[in-house]
Amino acid sequence: MTTNITQAAVKRIQLSLKAEQFTESVIREMTRLAFKHGAVNLSQGYPDFSAPAEIKQAAREAIDADINQYAITWGAKRFRDAIAAKFQRTQGVSLDPEREITVCCGSTEAMISSMLAIINPGDEVVVFEPFYENYGPDAILSGASPKYVKLKPPQWTFDPDGLAAAFSANTKAIILNSPNNPTGKVFDRAELEQIRDLCVRWNVFAITDEIYEHMLYDGAEHISIAAIEGMRDRTITINALSKTYCVTGWRVGWAIAAPEVTASIRKVHDFLTVGAAAPLQEAGARAMEFPASYYEKLARDYAVRRERLLGILTDAGFRCFKPRGAYYIMTDISAFGFPNDFAFAKYLVEEIGVAAVPGSSFFRDPADGKSILRFTFCKKEETLAAAAAKLAKLRKG
């Protein structure tokens, strides 16, 4: 009796109209499918090799030292100091760690907290397309309307007039991600200056996701848009420990912004999550003091993995777009004759034993990604070798 009443009541309850507008992450779903089918997982971008011994040791020491209660909601002081010191060292931007940094649960939370902190009804955000799939739901959840600007292969350039046309009096922010997921594009100074000119003209924020800042190839240089003249105080810079220190499961990231903006982000962050894991922030502080040689080796090792996966995919019949940064390879799958990216990704994971991400998850209109698959190379040699063996079956048909 009670059960029937409850079920009837549940049926009448309307769920969030916002949540109804987006689906679960296809990237995370592909990882689940990889596990289900025992496939080699080249879909979700997380390393399958070890984190540096020093960062793991620092985390153990922090737990042993009983740093096991809440950190200050916007981040442990030592960690914020280390973030500020590294930003100064690498980008030449000086920060006040007391008023300009919010430590969050990963860059994912830093991004949504930042958007919730600045967006009002009617606001628009400019987003380059293809885009990292989180930005779509982030826009919906925060109430912003996205305006998409295409990055055109093979170099993933944008049309400056098209970009200018996306800005208006309603624009609140542009979302940047450089080095870029999924394309591997690294925005250069001239491009960042074009974006700066529009941000200044329309009084707009840049929210920039720089999580792949140290994964750079072929001489590409990472420039934070906050370091471009005129942008320091209108930029929200998002980053995390996840990719740089191989600890995606720790969920420690941050948002850097001018004091008034940070005050708003901190309030949102506080009521969403209270704070990120305290001992892991201490370990992060230690990691951010690693010498330059750590980052140089990281980039060198990823360059080797990039070459390896480019070779594997090319041999298997994919047409590859060579990335200049981050750790993904976009491929054209037209030659395989499948009706779309989903059908091919399903075949790959179920029959061939390799998981990749269907291109449509990076576009507003699925048709734009229907001949694309994204592979990641943040994997150890054994994993890439296993993928090579499986993909060789594709050739034999």
- Please provide the size of the chain in residues: 397
Smallest separation, CB 27 to ligand GLN (Å): 5
The residue number whose beta carbon is nearest to ligand GLN equals 45
Based on the shown chain and the rule CB under 6 A, indicate whether residue 45 belongs to the binding site for ligand GLN.
yes
* DSSP structure string for 116-170: HHH--TT-EEEEEES--TTHHHHHHHHTPEEEEEEPBTTTTB--HHHHHHH--TT
Q: In this chain, which of 91, 113, 114, 181 binds ligand GLN, going by CB under 6 A?
A: 181
Select 95 or 373, whichever has its Cβ closest to ligand GLN.
373
- The rounded distance, in Å, linking the Cα atoms of 300 and 309 is 15
- The rounded distance, in Å, linking the Cα atoms of 328 and 364 is 20
- The rounded distance, in Å, linking the Cα atoms of 318 and 312 is 9
Buried b (16+ CB within 10 A) or exposed e, 321-340: bebbbbbbbbbbbeebebeb
- The rounded distance, in Å, linking the Cα atoms of 357 and 390 is 17
Select 93 or 240, whichever has its Cβ closest to ligand GLN.
240
Based on the shown chain and the rule CB under 6 A, indicate whether residue 44 belongs to the binding site for ligand GLN.
yes
Smallest separation, CB 277 to ligand GLN (Å): 16
Site string for ligand GLN, 376-395 (x = CB under 6 A): --------------------
Pick out residues in 2-41 that bind ligand GLN (CB under 6 A): 27-28
| Backbone torsions φ then ψ of 218, nearest 5 degrees | 55, 35
Based on the shown chain and the rule CB under 6 A, indicate whether residue 235 belongs to the binding site for ligand GLN.
no
- The rounded distance, in Å, linking the Cα atoms of 275 and 102 is 9
Both tokens of 312, joined, read 């594997």
Based on the shown chain and the rule CB under 6 A, indicate whether residue 253 belongs to the binding site for ligand GLN.
no
Smallest separation, CB 29 to ligand GLN (Å): 10
Select 108 or 183, whichever has its Cβ closest to ligand GLN.
108
Based on the shown chain and the rule CB under 6 A, indicate whether residue 108 belongs to the binding site for ligand GLN.
yes
Based on the shown chain and the rule CB under 6 A, indicate whether residue 89 belongs to the binding site for ligand GLN.
no
Residue of 323, 315, 304, 313 lying closest to 354 (CA atoms):
313
Select 191 or 209, whichever has its Cβ closest to ligand GLN.
209
Size of the site for ligand GLN (CB under 6 A): 7
The residues of the shown chain that bind ligand GLN, judged by CB under 6 A, are 27-28, 44-45, 108, 132, 181
